[in-house]
Chain A
Amino acid sequence: MGGREANVVLLDENGIRSDGRKVNETRKVTIKTGVLKNADGSAYIEFGGNKILAGVFGPRDVHPKHMSNPDTGILRVRYHMEPFSVTERKKPAPSRREIEISKVIKEALEPAVMLEQFPRTAVDVFLEVLQADGGTRCAALDAASVALADAGIPMRDLVCACASGKAADTLILDVNNEEDQAGQADMPIGYMPNLGQITLLQLDGVLTPDEFKKCIEIGIEGCKQVYEIQKNSLREKYFSSGDNN
C-alpha cells in the first residue's frame, strides 16, 4: 500500500517507534494451542493487535473427488477476514487479496507438511482473522503451523513468520499497520528454522540490494523469536504437568 503521507512520527530521535517498540523488537506474541473442540488441530494467536484463529481438519476425504491425488495428500488453505475485523466493514466474500494470501500461505506450509504420507486425502487449514492490525499473513501462518502440529500431522519443521521492513529510512522488525501504511517497505518472511528454508517471501516497497539482504537477516531473527513462542505453546498443551484439557 504505502506511499501515503506520514502524519505520525514513525521513529523518534531516540529510535523508538510509534507504538513504543525498538527497531528490532517484535510486538507481543501469544499463541494458545488447541482452542477448538471440533477441529483436529487449532491455535489462537495474538500478534500485537492481530487476533487470528486457525483450525485444521484432516487428513480426510477430498471433496470434490477430482481434486484428490493418488500420489500424495493435498493441502488446502483458506485465509479469511471477518467483515468486522477492519475499520471499514469488509464484504464477507473472499477478495482477490484473500485468495492470493491463501495461496501464498499454502505454499509456505507445503514444504513443511509430509503430505506424501496421506495419498488421496486433504488437509484443510482455515484461518479466520477476527481483528487485523498489519501483518495478518505472518500471524496467520504462525497459527496455521501450530494448528497443523496440534492436529498431529507429521511435519519436517514448524514454519514461523514475521515481517521486516523499512520506515523512516530505518530497517525495522515486525511492521505494524501504521508502518505498513506510511513506511517505505514491508517484507513478510516465512521460515523453517531447522531446515534454513525461506518458504514465504513477499515485498512491497523499495530496498537497495544491501538493505534486502539485511532485511532478510532481521526477519529471520524475528521468525526465530516467534518459533520459540510456537514451541512453548505446543509444550504448554502437551507437556505441562497437572490438568490439561
Chain B
Amino acid sequence: MVQLSIIDKLKRSKILDLLQEGKRIDGRALDEIRPLSIDVGVVPNANGSARVRLGDTEVVSGVKVQPDRPFPDMGDKGIFMCTAEILPLAHPSAETGPPQPAVIELARVVDRGIRESGMVDLSQMVLEKDKSVIGVFADNVVTDHDGNLFDACSYSSVAAIMTSKIPKWEMKDDKPVMVEGEVSDAPITTIPVSITMGRIGEFIIVDPNLDEWECLDARITVTTNSDGNIVALQKGGSAGFTFDQLVKCSELSISAGSKIREIIKQATKSTL
C-alpha cells in the first residue's frame, strides 16, 4: 500500500514531468539499468558469497551448503532455499522484528525466480534417496536500500551460487560424513536474471531507484533464463498493466536480462 506523503506527491509530479520529456530523475534512459558491480568470494566462511551494488542499493549474499533431510515428496532432489532480510542499517524505515509482508514477498520472488529456472541441478545433490540430500541455502541481506531490492538480491544470490564450492559427503552408518579437502563446483544449468520494471502513469521504467520506487503505480518482476525464456513473474503494486504493457515488459526483460547476464558471467568467470 503506497501512502504518499506531501514530499512524495511533489516528487511524483516532478518524476512524471521529467518522464514526459523522456528523462528520469537520475538522468537515466527509461530502459537503462543503474551501474551494477558484483564482487564474489567476500565471505570466506560461506561456501559461496557475493556483494552486489546496483546503483546505491547494496546486498550481501552468502550460500551455505550442508546435508539435510529431503522434503517428503522430493526424496530424489536436493534442497534449495533463498531468504532475504532488510537490515536495520539499510534504511531509516527498516525495522527489526517479524518480517513485513513486503519482505516476505521479496524473499519469495527471489527464491521463485532461481528455483523455477532450475539453475541448480538438484538431482545431483542426493546422498541417499529419501534419506539424505545436500541443501543449498542462499541468504541475502540488504545493507543499503535505494530501491529495486528484487533484482539486487537476485543478482547477488545468483553470483554467490555460481561461485559456490560444494563439499563432498559420504554416507557412513546412515549419516553423511564430510570428506575433507574435496570440493566441486555447483551444478549450474542456466543463469536466471530478474528484471524489475515499474509503471508510472503510462511510462514503463526499468530498475526503479528508491525515489521512483516510492511512487510507482505498479511494478513487475520478470525472470528469464539463458535461453531467453521467461521462468517466473510477479506483478505488484496497487494498479494494473494492460496486455500491451506486459508484452513490452517481457521484451524489455529479455533484452536487459541478456546484458546483466554478461556482467554476472564476467564477475563469476563463468563459461556457461
**Residues A90-146 near B (CB distance < 8 A):** 96-97, 99-100, 102-104, 106-107, 110-111
Query: A220 an interface residue at 8 Å Cβ cutoff?
Result: yes
A206 and B225 form a contact (CB under 8 A): yes
**How many residue pairs at the A-B interface have CB separations less than 8 Å?**
107
**Residues B214-243 near A (CB distance < 8 A):** 220, 225, 228-243
Closest to A215 in B: B230
Query: B105 an interface residue at 8 Å Cβ cutoff?
Result: yes
Query: B178 an interface residue at 8 Å Cβ cutoff?
Result: no
Query: A152 an interface residue at 8 Å Cβ cutoff?
Result: no
User: Measured between alpha carbons, how far is A178 from B246 in the docked complex, in Å?
Assistant: 28
User: Measured between alpha carbons, how far is A30 from B112 in the docked complex, in Å?
Assistant: 32
User: Measured between alpha carbons, how far is A111 from B241 in the docked complex, in Å?
Assistant: 11
Q: Which of B1, B234, B242 contacts A198 (CB 8 A)?
A: B242
User: Measured between alpha carbons, how far is A4 from B229 in the docked complex, in Å?
Assistant: 20
B102 and A103 form a contact (CB under 8 A): yes
B101 and A103 form a contact (CB under 8 A): yes
Q: For chain A, what secondary structure do more than half of its interface residues adopt (helix, strand, loop), or is it mixed?
A: mixed
User: Measured between alpha carbons, how far is A203 from B194 in the docked complex, in Å?
Assistant: 13
A54 to chain B minimum Cβ distance, whole angstroms, is 19
User: Measured between alpha carbons, how far is A152 from B197 in the docked complex, in Å?
Assistant: 35
User: Measured between alpha carbons, how far is A195 from B245 in the docked complex, in Å?
Assistant: 14
User: Measured between alpha carbons, how far is A208 from B254 in the docked complex, in Å?
Assistant: 11
Q: Which of B1, B233, B242 contacts A187 (CB 8 A)?
A: B233
B77: chain A residues at CB < 8 Å are: 3
A100: chain B residues at CB < 8 Å are: 101, 104-105, 108
Interface size class of A (residues with CB under 8 A): 35 or more
B246 and A201 form a contact (CB under 8 A): yes
Query: B250 an interface residue at 8 Å Cβ cutoff?
Result: yes
User: Measured between alpha carbons, how far is A217 from B247 in the docked complex, in Å?
Assistant: 11
B105 and A103 form a contact (CB under 8 A): yes
B173: chain A residues at CB < 8 Å are: none
User: Measured between alpha carbons, how far is A99 from B112 in the docked complex, in Å?
Assistant: 15
A198 and B104 form a contact (CB under 8 A): no
B68: chain A residues at CB < 8 Å are: none
User: Measured between alpha carbons, how far is A212 from B233 in the docked complex, in Å?
Assistant: 10
A61 to chain B minimum Cβ distance, whole angstroms, is 17
Query: A52 an interface residue at 8 Å Cβ cutoff?
Result: no
Query: B41 an interface residue at 8 Å Cβ cutoff?
Result: no
Closest to B238 in A: A110
User: Measured between alpha carbons, how far is A3 from B179 in the docked complex, in Å?
Assistant: 30
B229 and A208 form a contact (CB under 8 A): yes
Chain B window 229-272, contacts with chain A (Cβ cutoff 8 Å), 1 for yes, 0 for no:
11111111111111100110011001000000000000000000
A205 and B116 form a contact (CB under 8 A): yes
B116: chain A residues at CB < 8 Å are: 2, 203-206
Query: B73 an interface residue at 8 Å Cβ cutoff?
Result: yes
Q: For chain B, what secondary structure do more than half of its interface residues adopt (helix, strand, loop), or is it mixed?
A: mixed
User: Measured between alpha carbons, how far is A212 from B220 in the docked complex, in Å?
Assistant: 14
A102: chain B residues at CB < 8 Å are: 101
Q: Which of A200, A204, A213 contacts B247 (CB 8 A)?
A: A213
B242 and A196 form a contact (CB under 8 A): yes
B196 to chain A minimum Cβ distance, whole angstroms, is 13
A198 and B240 form a contact (CB under 8 A): yes
User: Measured between alpha carbons, how far is A110 from B218 in the docked complex, in Å?
Assistant: 11
Asked, given contacts A201-B234, A206-B116, whether A69 binds B3 with beta carbons under 8 Å apart, the answer is yes
Q: Which of B230, B236, B242 contacts A212 (CB 8 A)?
A: B230
Closest to A69 in B: B3
Q: Which of B73, B105, B112, B230 contacts A209 (CB 8 A)?
A: B230
User: Measured between alpha carbons, how far is A102 from B102 in the docked complex, in Å?
Assistant: 11
B242 and A197 form a contact (CB under 8 A): yes
User: Measured between alpha carbons, how far is A216 from B223 in the docked complex, in Å?
Assistant: 16
Chain A window 185-224, contacts with chain B (Cβ cutoff 8 Å), 1 for yes, 0 for no:
0010000100111111111111111001100110010000
Query: A175 an interface residue at 8 Å Cβ cutoff?
Result: no
Q: Which of A2, A111, A197, A203 contacts B230 (CB 8 A)?
A: A203
A200 and B235 form a contact (CB under 8 A): yes
Asked, given contacts A99-B101, A100-B108, A204-B112, whether A107 binds B238 with beta carbons under 8 Å apart, the answer is yes
Query: A74 an interface residue at 8 Å Cβ cutoff?
Result: yes
Closest to A102 in B: B101
Known contacts A206-B225, A209-B254; 15 further A-B pairs (Cβ under 8 A): A97-B108, A102-B101, A111-B238, A197-B239, A197-B241, A198-B235, A201-B220, A201-B241, A202-B233, A202-B234, A203-B232, A204-B116, A209-B230, A213-B247, A213-B250
The 10 closest A-B pairs by CB, nearest first: A197-B240, A203-B233, A201-B235, A199-B240, A110-B238, A103-B101, A111-B239, A207-B230, A99-B104, A96-B104
Can you give 12 A-B contacts (C-beta < 8 A)? Answer: A3-B118, A71-B4, A196-B243, A198-B235, A198-B241, A198-B242, A201-B220, A204-B232, A206-B225, A207-B230, A209-B228, A217-B243
